[in-house]
Amino acid sequence: MRSLDWAIVVAYLVYVVWDGIRMTKHTGTKEGYFLADRGLPWWAVGLSVMATQLSAITLVGTTGQAYSDGMRFIQFYYGLPLAMIILCVTVVPFFHRANVFTAYEYLEKRFDVKVRILTSFFFLISRGLGVGTIISAPSIVLSIVFGWNLTATIFAIGLSTTVYTVFGGVQAVTWTDVKQMIVIFFGLGVCFVVILWSFPTGVSLGDGLHLAGSLGKLNMVDTTFDLKEKYTIWSGLIGGLFLMLGYFGCDQSQVQRFLTAKSVAEGRTSLLMSAFLKIPMQFGILLIGIMVFIFYQFSAPPIVFNRAEVAKAQQTEGFRDIQTRYDAAHATRRDAAINFSSGGESARQSYIDADKRFNESRKEAVAFVRQTSNPTFNDVNYVFPTFILENMPIGVIGLLIAAIFAAAMSSISAELNSLATATTIDFYRRLYKPEATDKHYVMVGRATTFIWGVFACIVALFATNLGSLIEVVNKFGSFFYGSLLGVFVLAFVVKRARARGAFFGLLCGIASVWIASLLTDIEFLWFNVIGCIVTVFFGYLISLTVRNDPKSDESVETLI
């Protein structure tokens, strides 16, 4: 990176931290610190909802996913619009009417304190793991840029974001999210234009997409119904629907966003904003990954995108032989790609064959690194940051690195704030000190924010080699979201449901998902369906063993 790039990144980071800290004036009360006095406009809430999802994982992991696997990941989001409509009708008015700080606080009013504590506990576990994974993505970028040890970069990005979240609360989180979304969209737009401009003379966008399409990279609909297939239209419409219902309707990091809205109507509008914009936004990010793939058809990609692993591997004689074969395979594929647009079916087949040989030579290099250096090595998360640093012009590098940091900080801060809210409200206030002052609860909220920030950094140390980070974070969530959704289905829909049924139903749901993950080859999106159905089924059956209580029925009528 040049001086201009450094200046852009440093200026951005200093501004974000300063902007977040200056909002401490709005955080003197627990209502202000945790819910921004329930006075934020719908468009700010909507952008914050999207920013919480649009983490650095999305920019780094999704682009790398598209580079290696194409556009089929978009099917993951096909259930989102329907999920948002359902939540607008049900969850938003329920939570606003209950006047709660957390989603799980409502469950105590509907069931009892044990159900509230158990659901909040599982949220803390799932979201604590998730935010650790989110920190991994920008840490990878920092480790490439600075050449630092990954551990140092993890704590640098994690704790710097924790600072302004500790002081500014949800008010700082939301308004910095709004500004960060602007930086992200602008950076991605510039990236797209620069990649297109870098195509060889005579190669148009249409030619490039035709190349990618010949390899199946543009497939966005797979009608195969197979529980062992990760991304199909059915896993997206069914498994994705349950995941989105669980995430946006039961996860405090999202519920807290629309609880800050001024009214039920504005809370609903903020969710609908995400329903209409999320898929186009995700399509655009995946398209950036496809553009990187097309670019590397004509320019030699690194044999392995992790520079540190390449440097170690290049010291061995065996790797140098692999590099020679790799370079030859790329040259053959490049020539085939150039001839592709002017040739017929034979040219198309020649290109497909050349790409197959190229991929085999790259797999050989990855296998060599795993065997000689790092058994857990996976470089899909290094594709986009390495591409930026090696191919973007001066100034644009700084802008895109800043965009990755913006995406990271917006998600990390929102997740940490929600973790602190649940810890303070559901555990500390409810179980330990129910009558303290607002100042005391704000102090506890800040302390727990810092503690969760450190915990997330520790999780991040183990997340970088688990594969595509966008998949890892959703796998973590899928172990819990379906079962948590099942508890809320019992609360909202099943009038006969009782506290005992909800409590043990949730435990059965969580257990069923873990059993499915260990004993079957079912893909993770379907875990959300399994967890929800098992929780509702056993929750209802167990509730039937509880004596019918007229007072409990009266409470249900009041809340539902």
Q: pLDDT tens digits, the chain, 560 residues: what are they? A: 678 888 888 887 787 777 766 665 555 566 666 666 677 777 777 777 776 666 666 777 788 888 888 898 898 889 889 998 999 888 888 888 878 888 898 899 889 999 999 999 999 988 888 888 778 767 776 676 667 777 888 887 788 778 777 776 666 667 677 777 777 788 888 888 888 888 887 788 888 898 899 888 999 888 888 888 888 999 989 998 998 898 888 888 788 777 788 888 888 888 888 788 888 888 988 999 999 999 999 888 888 887 777 777 777 777 888 888 889 999 999 988 888 866 677 888 898 999 899 988 888 888 888 777 767 676 777 788 888 888 888 888 888 887 777 777 777 877 888 898 899 989 999 988 888 888 888 889 889 989 998 898 888 887 766 655 666 777 778 889 999 999 999 998 888 899 999 999 999 999 999 999 999 888 888 999 999 999 999 999 999 998 765 545 555 555 45
- In contact, 36 and 260? CB cutoff 8 Å: yes
* Backbone φ and ψ of 295, nearest 5°: -55, -40
Q: Residue 106 corresponds to which amino acid?
A: Y
43, 256, 265, 270, 334 from 92: Cα distances, Å: 16, 11, 9, 11, 53
Cα–Cα–Cα angle for 115, 117, 118, nearest 5°?
Answer: 65
- The Cα–Cα gap between 313 and 309 comes to 6
- The Cα–Cα gap between 300 and 330 comes to 7
Alpha-carbon torsion (289, 292, 294, 297), positive or negative: negative
Question: What residues contact residue 150 under an 8 Å CB cut-off, 6+ apart?
Answer: 139, 140, 143, 461, 464
| Structural fold of domain 3-296+392-459 | Sodium/glucose cotransporter (1.20.1730)
**What token pair was written down for 325?**
């074969």
Q: Residue 210 corresponds to which amino acid?
A: H
**Exposure string (b/e) for 254-274, b if CB count within 10 Å is 16 or more?**
bbbbbbbbeebebbbbbbbbb
Residue 233 has what pLDDT? 92
Residue 551 has what pLDDT? 45
* Backbone φ and ψ of 261, nearest 5°: -70, 160
Cα–Cα–Cα angle for 279, 281, 282, nearest 5°?
Answer: 65
**What token pair was written down for 84?**
């948002």
Residue 428 has what pLDDT? 92
Residue 489 has what pLDDT? 93
**Exposure string (b/e) for 419-430, b if CB count within 10 Å is 16 or more?**
bbbbbbbbbbbb
Q: What is the DSSP letter of 375?
A: T
DSSP state letters, 412-432: HHHHHHHHHHHIIIIIIIIII
**What token pair was written down for 445?**
């909220």
Question: What residues contact residue 527 under an 8 Å CB cut-off, 6+ apart?
Answer: 239, 478, 479, 482, 513, 516, 517
Helix (H) or strand (E) holding 208: helix 205-214
**Exposure string (b/e) for 458-477, b if CB count within 10 Å is 16 or more?**
ebbbebbbbbbbbbbbbbbb
**What token pair was written down for 372?**
């000689």
- The Cα–Cα gap between 66 and 88 comes to 31
Cross-strand pairs, 261: 40
Alpha-carbon torsion (511, 513, 515, 517), positive or negative: negative
Coil, strand or helix at 370: helix
Residue 531 has what pLDDT? 94
Question: What residues contact residue 5 under an 8 Å CB cut-off, 6+ apart?
Answer: 394, 395, 397, 398, 401
Question: What residues contact residue 467 under an 8 Å CB cut-off, 6+ apart?
Answer: 378, 380
- The Cα–Cα gap between 256 and 214 comes to 44
- The Cα–Cα gap between 1 and 14 comes to 18
Report H helices in 479-544.
481-492, 499-519, 525-543
Nearest to 246 by CA among 463, 9, 15, 474: 474
Nearest to 229 by CA among 363, 379, 75: 75
Instruction: Tell me the domain boundaries of the chain.
Output: 3-296+392-459, 307-376, 479-560
CA dihedral of residues 427, 431, 433, 436 (deg, nearest 10): 60
